[in-house]
Structure 1
Amino acid sequence: MFIKPIKSVFQEVSQVYLTLLKVMVPAIIVVKILDLLGGTQWLAAILAPFMELVGLPEQLGLVWATAILTNIFTAMVVFVDVTAQLELSVAQVSVIGILILISHSVPIEGAVAKMVGVSWRLTIGLKIGGGLLLAALVNWLYTALDYQQQAAVLLWQHEVKEQTLMQWGLDQLQMLISIFFIISALIILLRILKKIGVESLLQKLLSPIFKLLDITKDASNITITGITLGLSYGAGLLISEIKKGHISKKDVLLSISFLSLAHSLIEDTLLILLLGADVVAILWLRIIFAIVIVALLAKYIAIKESILLKPMSKSQ
């Protein structure tokens, strides 16, 4: 009775984990080589002005760069390594968490978005520009309110010590093994939430928001999938619906724009919470930010369409 579900979960976990290893292992090695060659300090110096803008130490520029090029898991690995000698507040972890959540996997997610007709320029603008803007706003808000300024509790914080390459390798292996169990727990949790109807509840709760964003019901159902599971899942369903002619280009644009800023809200949020971030910033403020930005984009599109239609109505 339980063999089939267990086998299914194990297969899904294995597929996700192996896919991540293909990206993470080379990235970890490259980052280590760069570190040995002084590349870490060089890259951090380039991104230092952006880090200062959002109230973070310049060393965290490497974490953001890693997230942009790879994924959340790899960025978490680098985060743990970089922050071993730093003491960050909950507010600061929340700020870097926002940068990771919005700006991660730009090459992969940008390519997926391009497949459904959304330009690289818009994707990069939303994921990198949007991430930086929200991070700056959260930093300003939390500083002004003197909120969450206490020291963050980091899950993978380790003792600062001189490491040989062998010790470093063993630490990374331990980290990779722990990620396997985290992925397993998250996938099981997602299945439970789906089983008890949380996804259906989310659809009912979010339907008024999608009306506000001018996203139709057909597109909103698919957007819900992306919100809970990830941009790639949502975009994959969009491709199928586009071929059937069920969804307009505007719906695709608005849906992907929303998912660029707020997707995989359950899994990704849980991961960043493990680093000691504040749920208000990385979940609720991220959702509000995505709604505001996409609502403005929808308004801009509506104004642009009305301007284009005026000459046609006059000619008639």
Structure 2
Amino acid sequence: MASLKSLLVEALSVTRDLFRIMIPIIVVVKVLQEWGVIGLLADPLSGIMGYVGLPGSMGLVWATAMINNIYSGIIVYASLAPQESLSAAQTTVLATMILVAHSLPVELEIVRKSGPKWWFQALMRVGSAFVLGMILHHVYAWGGWLSQESVLLIGVDPGAQDLVSWGIGQIRNLAWIFVIILGLLVLMRLLSAMGITRLLIGLLGPLLRVLGIGKEAAPLTIVGMVMGIGYGGGLILHEVKKKRVGQRDIFFALSLMGLSHSLIEDTLLMMSLGGGLSGILVGRVLFSLIFVFGLVRLVGCLSEKTFLRWLFTAREGDGGGSTKACQSMPSGIPPLRSNQ
């Protein structure tokens, strides 16, 4: 009974911190959507969609997903796709870009509260989405792959939603977040008690070390990549308050999660739009691993002072030297945390 009580208290603590971030931003985004601000963002995006092989109208889809969420982007896509007749390759490119950069106001605020600077994470995600979109576009065009017409596998009602229905839907979503967080905490304790967490970290240790993610952040990173940054980031935010995870662990873990998260649910959603696994899963994960691999080496060469000035907000009680990390590592692999 005491263990159950402690789990409930911990789940309430995690979700409370998340809700303090999410609820105000959800309301603000809804207001901006009603005022047509998302449409203003879509205008400049429409001019660059040609670089990834997409019609300008898809800029509105991506803008909606970035400012609001994936589901809103799907609704807009469902209303525009019949007029555009996109190929499977085009749908895959758009879906992959959405998966890398979506729900930015909420997710970037979760990241900011954990320490990393929001502006770098925003540029990283939007820029990476666009670069990955260009890569996929040229690869598919070069090989003539996925040239068949895209098929929308789900029916979406794009009709207007009144505020009461919207509010009820948001309350339902928040309730589910609490249930999922509680389930994740139970699962993590069970895996830890059974020794599975230690086994997974041991098996993934070499890869995680190269990616700059230490053993304290490894389980949370796995949760974020599989379930979503709201859950993995929320758990990391909880650990940050207890100062159990190093600064560079947090930075690299959240960077990886930002580029590649919710690998099950979101991937299935994009498949229902007609997106191919070669882009929405394989391409996204490979790009994320390669990008973070390079990021680790670049950031590892920064002094602690530069790291804390441009990429991370220092927490009270955290320390670290100002020497360049990469100069002290003969193997070429930078240290994972500032206190190592």
Shorter chain as denominator, the TM-score bin is 0.7 to 0.9
TM-score normalised by L of structure 2 = 0.67
CA RMSD of aligned residues (A): 4.0
Determine if the alignment matches structure 1 residue 268 to structure 2 residue 266.
yes
The Cα shift of 1:46 comes to 2.2
Counterpart contact for 2:43–2:60, Cα < 8 Å: no
Counterpart contact for 2:229–2:257, Cα < 8 Å: yes
Secondary structure, aligned partner of 2:54: coil
Matched to 1:140, the amino acid is H
Counterpart contact for 1:203–1:224, Cα < 8 Å: no
Counterpart CA distance in 1 for 2:257 and 2:43 is 31
Q: 2:324 aligns with which of 304, 308, 311?
A: 308
The Cα shift of 1:115 comes to 0.4
Counterpart CA distance in 1 for 2:210 and 2:76 is 39
Q: Which residue of 2 aligns with 1:120?
A: 118
Question: Please, which runs of 5 or more residues in structure 1 have no aligned partner?
Answer: 1-18, 160-166
Count of matched residue pairs:
271
* Shift in alpha-carbon separation, 1:156–1:113, aligned structure 2, 3 A: same
Q: Which residue of 2 aligns with 1:58?
A: 56
* Shift in alpha-carbon separation, 1:46–1:214, aligned structure 2, 3 A: closer
Question: Please, which runs of 5 or more residues in structure 2 have no aligned partner?
Answer: 1-21, 304-321, 329-340
Secondary structure, aligned partner of 2:324: helix
The Cα shift of 1:206 comes to 4.3
Matched to 1:66, the amino acid is T
Counterpart CA distance in 1 for 2:53 and 2:200 is 34
Q: Deviations over 1:237-270 (max 9, x none)?
A: 2223223332110100000100110011111111
The Cα shift of 1:214 comes to 2.2
Structure with the higher helix share, 1 or 2: 1
Matched to 2:324, the amino acid is L
Counterpart CA distance in 1 for 2:156 and 2:238 is 46
Matched to 2:236, the amino acid is L
The Cα shift of 1:234 comes to 1.5
Q: Which moved more, 1:229-238 or 1:102-111?
A: 229-238
Q: Which residue of 1 aligns with 2:231?
A: 233
Determine if the alignment matches structure 1 residue 103 to structure 2 residue 119.
no
Q: Which residue of 2 aligns with 1:16?
A: none
Counterpart CA distance in 1 for 2:146 and 2:236 is 39
Q: Which residue of 1 aligns with 2:251?
A: 253
User: Percent identity, aligned pairs only?
Assistant: 31
Matched to 1:238, the amino acid is I
The Cα shift of 1:102 comes to 1.1
Determine if the alignment matches structure 1 residue 210 to structure 2 residue 208.
yes
Counterpart contact for 1:202–1:224, Cα < 8 Å: no
Q: 1:86 aligns with which of 84, 109, 123?
A: 84
Counterpart CA distance in 1 for 2:217 and 2:245 is 7
The Cα shift of 1:310 comes to 9.7
